[in-house]
Amino acid sequence: MAMRNRKVLRIANRDLPFQLVLIAFGIVTFFPLVLVVITSLKSNTQFYHNFWLPELPFQFGNYSSAFRIIWRYIVNSVIYSGSTICLIAIIASVAGYVFARFSFPFKTVLFLAFIMLIMVPGVLTLAPRFVLVRDLGLVNTPFALISVWVSGGLVLSTWLMRSYFESLPQELFDAAYVDGAAEWQVFFYVSVPLARPMIATVAMTTLIASWNDLIWPLVTITDKDKMPLAMGLMQFSSDFETDWGTLFAGYVISSVPLLCVFAVAMRQFISGLTSGSIKA
Amino acid sequence: MLRRFATSPSGAKMKRESQSPLPLRVWRAKWLYLALLVPVAMLLIFEWLPAFSALYNSLYIWNGGKVHFYVGLEHYERMLSDRTFRVAITNLLGFVFFRVIMQTVLPFFAAEMIVNLRSARWSYWWKIIFVFPMVVPTILNYLIWRFIYNPQVGLLNEGLELIGLEQYTHAWLGDPNTVMWALAFVRFPWLPTLQFLIILGGLQTIPQEVHESAAIDGAGFWRRLFYIDIPMTRRQITLAMILTMLFMTQRFDLFLVMTDGGPGYSSMVPALQLYQSAFHFLEFGYASAIGVVLFVAMLALTIINLRVSAGATAQ
């Protein structure tokens, strides 16, 4: 027992300088967030009277009045991002599987049609794409967002899925074929279950990209009750410009959805990106 | 039926396949083409078509509708003499330079310290703590920093008053001299999630034995940093830098939300000018030309960066 304690102490001692720097860094990181939460519980009078510290009574009413407005945007975003994620997961796994497992005429050309788009920045296509979507009559509908988010996300997702399916050993598929599985059965019962970690990564990147996209909704959506969260927050922040408590309560509420997702998937997310396989 | 096309190590089957005539092979692969129909069609319509439309329309005067006539390279010439565009380019270069350094050095040091911890539990928790700001929607980062820079009740000015430096309080975003600096420090202590995790991943793959033998040879923290850790994570550092560069060149939501290019056009960047040309002034041709220039610049930057890092690795 004593020895173990000494060992723990030694480790703690060696880590101490690093820990101190990290703690300082952590405090600076969380300070703005804590201040936002503190302010969200104040009335304007309390805020102007005391900028830094929490003050009684807490104004929980801020949260209910902010929620009355924000909930609509959150629901919209959940619907838009949710459909985008489902579509990308399905389309990218099928396409990735086809590219990884089969050889057929024009395969290289078709794959290049995907992969070359990695170098085409969104800012180049922004203006002509708006004209296209407008001429298709999609402006101010959810399809304007979903179609463009899906096609944009497909580029990287298909590539990721293809690399993943390629890394699976051939014996696995041979075994399924020998057992008499049809190709679609091999896909559904062997490949997709194995690719679950990669599908999760694809879903996560798609979620973050679509959830945070501001510019595209800004040019295609005009109705207040169709706005996704990012755009709705901009509207909200100009509507409640000087009502600091309600404003910050809205900010806190709108951070909750991603917080929930990451509470569940944080470990997977971190280990996926730090596996060291990502290189230039 | 499809199984015949499955790539398999046995070359014999493949050979027979590629000897049959092309139309037959295309016909046999019809289900595969069907499976690729939706994604390929979507990419053609929503990605390739706009991309080529941008190249094409950069040679036209176009309001996005009926007004559409050929002007050749006039838009590109106009860019050379456009004062706003020149300010935008200067701003962008400074901004990208600063952000690339900040968004690489900061995550590197944080990752370095986390990797150095002996306690695995603590290093796990620190990762979570530094990734945490990611749950805040991007737009809120900007709105929170707008509050920090607020001249009347901003966190920064209040903080300066608290420690008795009232004379330095400032309208950070309202002054052309400070606005770009203020924007460069948006999200400052928060680590860029992707870059942080990539660099962290690189540092974690350095084998323990390398560090141990360096310690035996008497290398301290700094020597180890410069002779082992930085060289061995060069690829991840390069990737983080490229990513920052590409993000910062094409994303303008930061500028749109915080200042809209103001005051005047002292915080203008090319991507924001593109947006304003198209959606405020209906100059879709000029906007497309700016887009083409940005595209070429980003392509060149990426290629140069990859070359340099490849060359450095080869030495």
Identify whether residues B27 and B163 lie together within a single domain.
no
Identify whether residues B29 and B128 lie together within a single domain.
no
Predicted local confidence at residue A11, as pLDDT: 57
The tokens describing B81, both together, are 């003499």
* Calpha distance A214→A234 (Å, rounded): 9
Q: Is A51 on the interface with B (CB under 8 A)?
A: yes
Three-state DSSP state, A38: helix
* Calpha distance A279→A271 (Å, rounded): 15
> Under an 8 A CB cutoff, do B242 and A280 touch?
yes
Host domain of residue B29: 2-57
Among A95, A173, A234, the residue with its CB nearest the CB of B36 is A95
Identify whether residues B167 and B249 lie together within a single domain.
yes
Within 10 angstroms of residue B75's Cβ, the number of other Cβ atoms is: 24
Three-state DSSP state, B154: coil
* Calpha distance B286→B73 (Å, rounded): 10
Within 10 angstroms of residue B33's Cβ, the number of other Cβ atoms is: 16
Domain A70-273 CATH (choose: 1.10.3720.10, 1.10.10.10, 3.30.470.10, 3.20.20.70): 1.10.3720.10
Within 10 angstroms of residue A181's Cβ, the number of other Cβ atoms is: 17
Q: Is B275 on the interface with A (CB under 8 A)?
A: yes
Identify whether residues B307 and B158 lie together within a single domain.
yes
Q: Which residue has tokens 């917080």?
A: A259
> Under an 8 A CB cutoff, do B42 and A22 touch?
no
Q: Are B71 and B59 in contact (CB under 8 A)?
A: yes
> Among B168, B38, B215, B275, which residue's Cα sits nearest to residue A125?
B275
Predicted local confidence at residue B15, as pLDDT: 47
CA angle B195, B196, B197 (to 5 degrees): 95
Q: Which of A43, A77, A125 to mutate to test the interface with B (most CBs of B within 10 A)?
A: A125
Predicted local confidence at residue B10, as pLDDT: 42
Nearest CA in chain A to B55: A124
Nearest CA in chain B to A36: B144
Among B39, B144, B271, the residue with its CB nearest the CB of A154 is B39
Query: Is B282 a domain residue?
Result: yes
Predicted local confidence at residue B3, as pLDDT: 53
Identify whether residues B235 and B161 lie together within a single domain.
yes
Structural domain boundaries in chain A: 70-273
CA angle B31, B34, B39 (to 5 degrees): 140
Interface of A with B in 119-138 (CB under 8 A): 119-132, 134
- Cα-Cα-Cα-Cα dihedral sign, residues B178, B181, B183, B185: negative
> Under an 8 A CB cutoff, do A255 and B136 touch?
yes
Element (H, E) at B69: strand B68-70
Alpha-carbon gap: B180 to the closest alpha carbon of chain A (Å): 21
Query: Is B211 a domain residue?
Result: yes
In A, which residues are within 8 Å of B6 by CB distance? Answer: 101-102, 173, 183
* Calpha distance A132→A136 (Å, rounded): 6
Number of domains in chain B: 2
Element (H, E) at B231: helix B230-232
Identify whether residues B120 and B203 lie together within a single domain.
yes
User: What are the pLDDT digits (tens) for B140-188?
Assistant: 999 999 989 988 888 888 888 888 888 888 888 888 888 999 999 998 8
Alpha-carbon gap: B61 to the closest alpha carbon of chain A (Å): 13
Q: Mean pLDDT in each 10-residue stretch from start to end of chain B (315 residues)?
A: 51 53 85 90 93 92 86 88 92 93 92 85 88 90 91 86 83 88 90 90 86 82 85 88 87 91 88 93 92 91 79 59
Bridge partner residues of B60 (DSSP): B70
* Calpha distance B214→B212 (Å, rounded): 5
Q: Is A19 on the interface with B (CB under 8 A)?
A: yes
Predicted local confidence at residue B12, as pLDDT: 40
Bridge partner residues of B61 (DSSP): B69
Q: Which of A88, A91, A126 to mutate to test the interface with B (most CBs of B within 10 A)?
A: A126
Element (H, E) at A170: helix A170-178
Alpha-carbon gap: B249 to the closest alpha carbon of chain A (Å): 9
Identify whether residues B123 and B249 lie together within a single domain.
yes
Element (H, E) at B26: helix B22-28
> Under an 8 A CB cutoff, do A131 and B284 touch?
yes
* Calpha distance A229→A143 (Å, rounded): 16
Query: Is B131 a domain residue?
Result: yes
Q: Is B186 on the interface with A (CB under 8 A)?
A: no
Identify whether residues B23 and B171 lie together within a single domain.
no
Burial class of residue B300 in the structure, from the number of CB atoms within 10 Å of its CB (0-12 exposed, 13-18 middle, 19+ buried): exposed
Q: Is B246 on the interface with A (CB under 8 A)?
A: yes
Q: The domain that contains B270 carries what CATH number?
A: 1.10.3720.10
User: Helices (DSSP H) in A102-169: which residue ranges?
Assistant: 107-115, 122-135, 142-167
Q: What type of residue is B142? A: Y
Residues in chain A predicted with pLDDT less than 70, given as ranges, are: 1-13, 275-280
Interface of A with B in 228-257 (CB under 8 A): 229-230, 233-234, 237, 244, 251, 254-255
User: What are the pLDDT digits (tens) for A158-199?
Assistant: 998 998 898 888 888 888 889 888 888 888 888 898 888 889
Query: Is B117 a domain residue?
Result: yes
Burial class of residue B165 in the structure, from the number of CB atoms within 10 Å of its CB (0-12 exposed, 13-18 middle, 19+ buried): exposed
Identify whether residues B81 and B166 lie together within a single domain.
yes
The 3-class secondary structure across A195-248, one letter per residue, is CHHHHHHHHHHHHHHHHHCCHHHHHHCCCHHHCCHHHHHHHHHHHCCCCHHHHH
Q: Is B272 on the interface with A (CB under 8 A)?
A: no
Among B235, B257, B288, the residue with its CB nearest the CB of A127 is B288
Note if the bond before A57 is cis, omega within 30 degrees: yes
Q: Which of B136, B208, B232 to mutate to test the interface with A (most CBs of A within 10 A)?
A: B136
* Calpha distance B70→B58 (Å, rounded): 9
* Calpha distance A187→A183 (Å, rounded): 6
Bridge partner residues of B69 (DSSP): B61
Contacts of A277 (CB under 8 A, 6+ apart): B201
Alpha-carbon gap: A262 to the closest alpha carbon of chain B (Å): 7
Q: Whole-prediction pTM value?
A: 0.87
* Calpha distance A50→B189 (Å, rounded): 25
* Calpha distance A77→B222 (Å, rounded): 47
Identify whether residues B245 and B124 lie together within a single domain.
yes
Identify whether residues B88 and B53 lie together within a single domain.
no
Q: What type of residue is B208? A: Q
Query: Is B66 a domain residue?
Result: no
Contacts of B238 (CB under 8 A, 6+ apart): A280, B305, B306, B309
User: What are the pLDDT digits (tens) for B114-136?
Assistant: 888 888 888 888 988 998 888 89
Predicted local confidence at residue A144, as pLDDT: 93
Among A101, A122, A273, the residue with its CB nearest the CB of B201 is A273
- State the count of interchain CB pairs (< 8 A) between A and B: 275
Predicted local confidence at residue A8, as pLDDT: 58
Identify whether residues B165 and B34 lie together within a single domain.
no
* Calpha distance B10→A64 (Å, rounded): 66
